[in-house]
């Protein structure tokens, strides 16, 4: 790694310039085409065979110069709203902040830059390295929809590293939850609330009873449930015919999350059945991401910890209660970690990163590629 360290000043300058270049490109979920156009020639310049799939995901392959198994590196191209017109302010201490009207886009441009720069460091070192696969995905922020359309049959790696975690470089999440969204509707009967309310079936009243029976908040140490939206009624002088709630369930235990969704469906049916004749319930749910847990003894974890030790980074194993592209990667058989890429206050207009984080993240990517584990 000595040769790499000698390039620190030039590498930092390039990382900063590339970060500022890429965040200027608008890339909302399912609108990442211009960013992909900017990334493809960069990958080609690095000798990476890269292509776009029908969804807009970028897949790339860099042949190795050492007889080692490949690893997959990934970051997403889309940015949460407000994303249009992203601008950066560089502080004297090399903190890079959003100018305030939009998010900065470090989530996840920091990850993109660190992967590109890490590969450059490897190539500049002249050291033998393993093959590398790359996925730059679209629509990660919308529950990893982009990778739902990705052809995983082309992937050769068994280990993956997704650069998409908040915090200082050297931390990595090895597990994340299942996330299920749900919707429950109670349909009753409308009637004039002043003239003949007894002819109506009040869907809001029935829903109130259902809400009282749905457990919310932390159900246990690995599971949460939340009802975040309630909609019902048309006018104050009409007995409300319909009421709908929408919410989500998260759990590190996939079967438990599915079981809670089924419980809510049953409770909705019971609430409608217990009301006046004619009330009915309707329930739907969707599994957006599937939980995973990467074993501490896996090669993905061992390689990460060794790389951190060599670079004097913390090497902290943690967990996240949010999702990332590692969820679908794990579902398709890749054991991996979500690495911190040095982004802070993401999903807000106060988002920031630092030049030092971009540099350290690049060094970590290089160390993972060069690792003999």
Based on the residue annotation, tell me whether 107 is a catalytic residue of this protein. Answer: no
143 shares its domain with 208:
no
Whether 198 is a known active-site residue: answer no
- Please indicate, yes or no, whether residues 88 and 138 belong to a single structural domain of this protein: yes
pLDDT tens sequence for the chain (373 residues): 455 455 678 888 999 999 999 999 999 999 999 999 999 999 999 999 999 999 999 999 999 999 999 999 999 999 999 999 999 999 999 999 999 899 999 999 999 999 999 999 999 999 999 999 999 999 999 999 999 999 999 999 999 999 999 999 999 999 999 999 999 999 999 999 999 999 999 999 999 999 999 999 999 999 999 999 999 999 999 999 999 999 999 999 999 999 999 999 999 999 999 987 889 999 999 999 999 999 999 999 999 999 999 999 999 999 999 999 999 999 999 999 999 999 999 999 999 999 999 999 999 999 999 999 9
Active-site option among 18, 107, 133, 140: 140
Whether 89 and 64 share a structural domain: yes
- Is the same domain home to 6 and 73? yes
83 plus 131 within the same structural domain:
yes
Contact 74, 325 (CB under 8 A): yes
- Going across the sheet that includes 95-98, the strands are 88-90, 95-98, 352-354
Residues spanned by the domain of 48: 2-176+291-370
**Residue 292 pairs with which residues in a beta bridge?**
176
Q: Which of 259, 289, 319 is the last residue of a domain?
A: 289
- Looking at residue 9, its pLDDT comes to 81
The per-residue pLDDT for 118 is: 97
Pair 162, 25 in one domain: yes
- Quote the pLDDT of residue 2: 52
Q: What is the rounded CA–CA span in Å between residue 78 and residue 66?
A: 33
* Residue 357 structure tokens: 């984080």
Residues 195 and 308 in one domain: no
DSSP class of residue 80? P
Of 264, 289, 314, the residue that ends a domain is: 289
Same domain, 222 and 340: no
Domain tally, the chain: 2
- Contact at 8 Å (CB) between 245 and 230? yes
Question: Of 235, 255, 289, which one is at a domain's C-terminal end?
Answer: 289
Are 99 and 184 found together in one domain? no
Q: What is the pLDDT, as a whole number, of residue 7?
A: 64
Residues 11, 142: one domain? yes
Q: Same domain, yes or no, for 166 and 204?
A: no
Q: How many CB atoms lie within 10 A of CB 305?
A: 17
Distance between CA 210 and CA 72 in Å, rounded? 46
C-alpha 73/C-alpha 135 separation (Å) is 7
Q: Are residues 12 and 136 in the same domain?
A: yes
Of the residues 16, 18, 78, 357, only one is catalytic, namely 78
Distance of CA 342 to the CA centre of its chain: 15
């Amino acid at each position: 790694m000595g040769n790499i360290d000698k390039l620190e000043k030039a590498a930092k300058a390039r990382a900063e310039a590339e970060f500022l270049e890429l965040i200027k490109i608008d890339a909302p979920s399912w609108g990442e085409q211009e960013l992909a156009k900017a990334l493809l020639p960069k990958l080609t310049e690095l000798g990476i065979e890269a292509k776009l799939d029908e969804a807009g995901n970028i897949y790339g392959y860099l042949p190795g110069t050492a007889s080692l198994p490949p690893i997959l590196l990934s970051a997403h191209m889309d940015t949460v709203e407000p994303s249009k017109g992203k601008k950066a302010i560089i502080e004297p201490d090399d903190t890079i902040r959003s100018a305030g009207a939009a998010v900065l886009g470090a989530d996840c441009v920091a990850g993109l830059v660190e992967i590109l720069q890490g590969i450059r460091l490897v190539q500049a070192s002249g050291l033998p390295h393993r093959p590398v696969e790359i996925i730059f995905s679209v629509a990660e922020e919308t529950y990893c929809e982009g990778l739902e359309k990705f052809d995983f049959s082309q992937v050769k790696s068994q280990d993956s590293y997704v650069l998409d975690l908040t915090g200082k470089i050297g931390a990595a999440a090895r597990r994340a939850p299942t996330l299920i969204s749900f919707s429950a509707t109670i349909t009753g009967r409308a009637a004039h609330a002043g003239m003949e309310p007894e002819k109506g079936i009040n869907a809001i009243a029935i829903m109130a009873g259902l809400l009282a029976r749905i457990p919310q908040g932390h159900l246990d140490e690995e599971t949460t449930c939340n009802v975040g939206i309630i909609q019902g009624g048309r006018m104050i002088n009409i007995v409300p015919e319909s009421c709908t709630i929408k919410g989500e369930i998260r759990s590190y235990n996939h079967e438990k999350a599915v079981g809670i969704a089924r419980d809510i469906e049953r409770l909705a049916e019971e609430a409608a059945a217990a009301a006046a004749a004619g009330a009915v319930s309707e329930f739907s749910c969707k599994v957006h991401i599937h939980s995973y847990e990467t074993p501490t003894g896996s090669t993905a974890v061992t390689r990460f910890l060794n790389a951190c030790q060599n670079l004097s980074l913390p090497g902290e194993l943690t967990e996240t209660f949010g999702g990332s592209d590692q969820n679908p990667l794990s579902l398709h058989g890749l054991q991996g970690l979500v690495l911190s890429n040095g982004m802070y206050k993401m999903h807000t207009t106060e988002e920031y990163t630092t030049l030092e984080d971009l540099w350290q993240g690049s060094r970590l990517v290089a160390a993972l590629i060069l690792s003999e584990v």
